[in-house]
Amino acid sequence: MKVDLLIKNAQIVSARDTVAGCIAVKDGKIAAIADSPEGFEAARVIDAGGKPVLPGGIDVHVHFRDPGLTYKEDFSTGSMAAAAGGITTVYDMPNVQPPTLNVENFQIKKKIAEEKSYVNYGIYAYLVNNLDQIDALIEAGVCGFKWDLSTFDWELPEGYYLPDNNEAADIFKKIAAHDYVVTVHAEDMELVKNYTEHLKESGRDPKDFFSHVEARPDIVEVSALYRTFVLSEVSGCRVHITHLTSKRGLELIKEFQHKGTPVTSDVGPAWFTFCAEDYEKFGGGIRVIPAIRYEKDREALWNGLANGDIEVLATDHAPHSNDEKFNRSWWDTLPGTIGVQTSLPIMLDHVNKGEVTLNRVVECMAEKPAQIFNIFPRKGQIAVGADADLVVVDMDKEWTVTHEEMYSKTKYTPYDGFKLKGKPVMTIVMGEVVMEDGKIVGKPGVGRMVNPRKDW
């Protein structure tokens, strides 16, 4: 069989098992999986040397800030960071300028991603008062909708607002009719506003970042989750809770799942690595929303991710300039931290420590996101006919995370100085090698747009 690429001596990892073999790639797709390299005539042969080969990571929550906020990040730097971290598909959030809430603005971002991206990308649209745009946005190719309850109406362009429950239910119904999922940022901003004002007036040190978690306690998440589940129930729409942050939130999700509410969730490394004590050390560096909470929450989130109660890992890669992150009060510091380049390495380190299996890593970083966002089986697994999005990992490589190694425009990572064991050493997107030994070697434009329509 004549193929473009043959990866031999691989340990092929799925969510269920790990099997030794070879992967043959032709025209960007997996053409064959075989025990031995015999019988293949390949333009390029890669010897994996017995290393694990995983389906490329799918991160359903990144902010690449393009267009409009490119001093923080752009599609080129963001997608290089993804490729360096073994992530082959990203879902980009709509809070750019102009915001992705209608087809016109969607097309602007699509063109940018087509030209600049080193990895595959999905483009989210906002769920606002845009019922009349939903069909057209799906037709145009969005990957999903973001119900961002942390948005204030004044942050949206004139005429747009976050709908009330009745208007939202109609939009949820429309989205459900297409079997698309609504991705939810669950925070009750009425409560946050009130808590924040009280804390600001309390005379506490504006540099006391512990105030951030007090201004956004877990009840804020619980309240927004309840509202979301009600909307899911009245509309029949699937909901995906992104960056879940609390033990109580997870308990509530489990309760509603038992009742049959179609809800799934994700969590990012920031929330299962750090906890409230860390605000003293990192200050604005770990100010993210919803807030990083207490040790009991961190522990529940990690256990939930490891055992599958939280189905997906997604980073919420959210770069800001150093000026926006540091030297400001806790309430003026912009929320968010980078993470798309470090999420898989952090998980590989947990595998080496015996805290999670590599199969579960594949499940939460590739198979589950692909299934929930309806791009499975073309994405999310190594199988004949699937796209050749692959990552080779070296489980024995010991290294130290540094700010400088980040491809992101923001040269600040809270993981700086972390000693990790395990690193992606090659990333392949649609059959093209884009990262080798930590260096970007591919060209921009190899990434394709993905969505549940599958006409990509």
Residue 150 touches which member of ligand NCD, Zn ion, none, C-beta under 5-8 Å by kind: ligand NCD
For residue 11, report the phi and psi dihedrals to the nearest 5 degrees.
-100, 105
Q: Can you tell me the distance from the alpha carbon of 363 to that of 332, in angstroms, rounded to the nearest whole number?
A: 37
Which of residues 46 and 82 has its CB atom nearest to ligand NCD in the complex?
82
In the complex with ligand NCD, the residue whose CB is nearer, 311 or 316, is: 316
Q: Spell out, one character per residue from 30 to 49, where the chain touches Zn ion: x when CB under 5 A holds, - when not.
A: --------------------
Residue closest to 263 by CA, chosen among 281, 284, 242, 241: 241
From ligand NCD, Zn ion, none, which one binds at residue 335 (CB under 5 to 8 Å depending on kind)? ligand NCD
Give the Cα separation of 274 and 272 in Å (integer).
6
Tell the smallest beta-carbon distance from residue 314 to Zn ion (Å): 9
Would you say 129 or 150 has its CB closer to ligand NCD?
150
The secondary structure of 102-160 as a DSSP string is: SHHHHHHHHHHHHHH-SSEEEEEEE-SS-GGGHHHHHHHT--EEEEETT--GGGSPTT-
Among residues 340, 375, 370, 366, which one has the least CA distance to residue 141? Answer: 375
Helix (H, G, I), strand (E, B) or coil at 140: helix
- Residue 186 binds which entry of ligand NCD, Zn ion, none, with Cβ cut-offs from 5 to 8 Å by kind? none
Residue 92 makes contact with Zn ion by CB under 5 A:
no
Structure tokens at 403: 């700010």
Structure-token match 């529940």, residue found: 300
Alpha helix ranges (H) inside 266-362: 269-273, 279-282, 295-307, 322-325, 343-352, 358-362
- Scan residues 211-270 and list those touching Zn ion (CB under 5 A): none
Judged by CB, which is closer to ligand NCD: 76, or 150? 150
- The residue (of 7 and 338) whose beta carbon lies closer to Zn ion is 338
The alpha-carbon radius of gyration of the chain (Å, integer) is 21
- The CB-of-453 to ligand NCD minimum distance in angstroms stands at 25
Provide the minimum distance between the beta carbon of 319 and Zn ion in the complex, in angstroms, as a whole number.
11
Asked if 148 touches Zn ion (CB under 5 A), the answer is no
The count of residues interacting with Zn ion (CB under 5 A) is: 1
Closer CB to ligand NCD, 270 or 429, in the complex: 270
Cβ nearer to ligand NCD, comparing 331 with 399: 331
Please identify, among the stretches 43-51, 195-203, 314-322, 427-435, the one whose residues bind Zn ion according to the rule CB under 5 A: 314-322
Nearest approach, Cβ of residue 301 and ligand NCD (Å): 15
Q: Kindly identify the residues of this chain, within the stretch 112-141, that bind Zn ion according to CB under 5 A.
A: none
427, containing H or E segment: strand 419-429
Q: Is the peptide bond before 369 cis (omega within 30 degrees of 0)?
A: no
Q: Minimal distance in Å, beta carbon 412 to ligand NCD?
A: 13
| Distances 250 to 243, 255, 297, 368 between C-alpha atoms, Å | 11, 9, 9, 17
Identity of the residue, 40 or 407, whose beta carbon is nearer to ligand NCD in the bound complex: 407
CA distance 320 to 335: 8
Among Zn ion, ligand NCD, none, what does residue 128 contact (CB within 5–8 Å per kind)? none
Contacting residues toward ligand NCD, per CB under 6 A: 63, 95, 150, 185, 288-289, 316, 318, 335-336
* Minimum CB distance to ligand NCD smaller for 40 or for 373: 373
Q: Which stretch binds Zn ion (CB under 5 A): 167-175, 251-259, 274-282, 308-316?
A: 308-316
Q: How far apart are CA 11 and CA 29, in angstroms?
A: 19
Backbone angles phi, psi at 151, to 5 degrees: -85, 135
CB 228 within 8 A of CB 238: no
Q: Which residues pair with 183 in a beta bridge?
A: 146, 240
Residues in contact with 451: Cβ distance below 8 Å, sequence separation at least 6, in sequence order: 122, 138, 141, 142, 143, 375
Q: Smallest distance, Å, CB 146 to ligand NCD? A: 9
User: Residue 316 or residue 432: which is nearer to Zn ion going by CB?
Assistant: 316
Residue 316 engages Zn ion in binding (rule: CB under 5 A): yes
289 binds, among Zn ion, ligand NCD, none (CB under 5 to 8 A by kind): ligand NCD
Chain centroid, CA 348 distance in Å: 17
Residues that bind Zn ion (CB under 5 A): 316
